[in-house]
Amino acid sequence: MPSSDKAALRRRALAARAAMPAPEREAAGRLIRDHVLEMPEVATAGTVAAYYSVGTEPDTRRLVYALWKRGSYVILPLLRPDGDLDWASFEGPESMEPGPRGLMQPAEPPRGIGAVARADAVLVPAVAVDRDGNRLGRGGGSYDRALARVGARVPVMALIYDTELMVSLPVAPHDQPVRAVVRPGHGITRLPARLSLAVTSGEC
């Protein structure tokens, strides 16, 4: 599929997020946090690779803090100049500092690009995901590189809003799929999965 198709879908999804009232986004983040914390795969994970939300993304900051407080070793991405992702440990909100492109990232020492391969569960951002697990990101390819290092048995979950699970999305050869999505109103959906008619819109 042409990259222009992805770009158009991305623009629509981001516009829809921007139009959501802030209280609705905050409530969605709390529900997603609770769903993730209740997952057996996450509850038993020694190391969780997560991310610190920015802008209109579903909030993960409370989730990251909750994982850390209950004893999980949480690693967050560090965006490298080449667009790849290094990783560093989350040691509380005070350990975070501004990074490139408006991101917040840990001030702790980098653990290397291979650190994500040692995680027991991986939480990733997405603009949309389809029923086969294909993920639409921001377009930089950073997470596709990172997810290529994650083993096939490791749960990789995208955190999205309720309307962002699609029937199909454009796919490129380098795209890495996710194995589940977490949505505020629907909880955990394992993928690939057949969608109900209620969520078969191909648009964001």
Note the pLDDT of residue 55.
Answer: 94
Strands 128-130 and 73-79, by their bridges, are unpaired
Cβ atoms of 181 and 172 within 8 Å: the answer is no
Please report the pLDDT score of residue 103 as a whole number.
92
Q: Which pLDDT value is given to residue 181?
A: 98
Q: Please state, rounded to an integer, the average pLDDT across all residues of the chain.
A: 92
For residues 133, 134, 136, 142, the Cα torsion angle rounded to the nearest 10 degrees is 100
User: Backbone dihedral region of 197: left (phi > 0), alpha (psi from -120 to 50 degrees) or beta?
Assistant: alpha
pLDDT digits (tens, 9 = 90+) for 139-154: 889 999 999 999 999 9
C-alpha Rg value of the chain to the nearest Å: 16
33 near 66, Cβ under 8 Å? Answer: yes
Q: How confident is the model over 88-122, as pLDDT tens digits?
A: 999 999 999 999 988 999 999 999 999 999 999 99
What domains appear along the chain, each with residue ranges and CATH number? 3-191 (3.40.50.10420)
pLDDT higher than threshold 50 for residue 76: yes
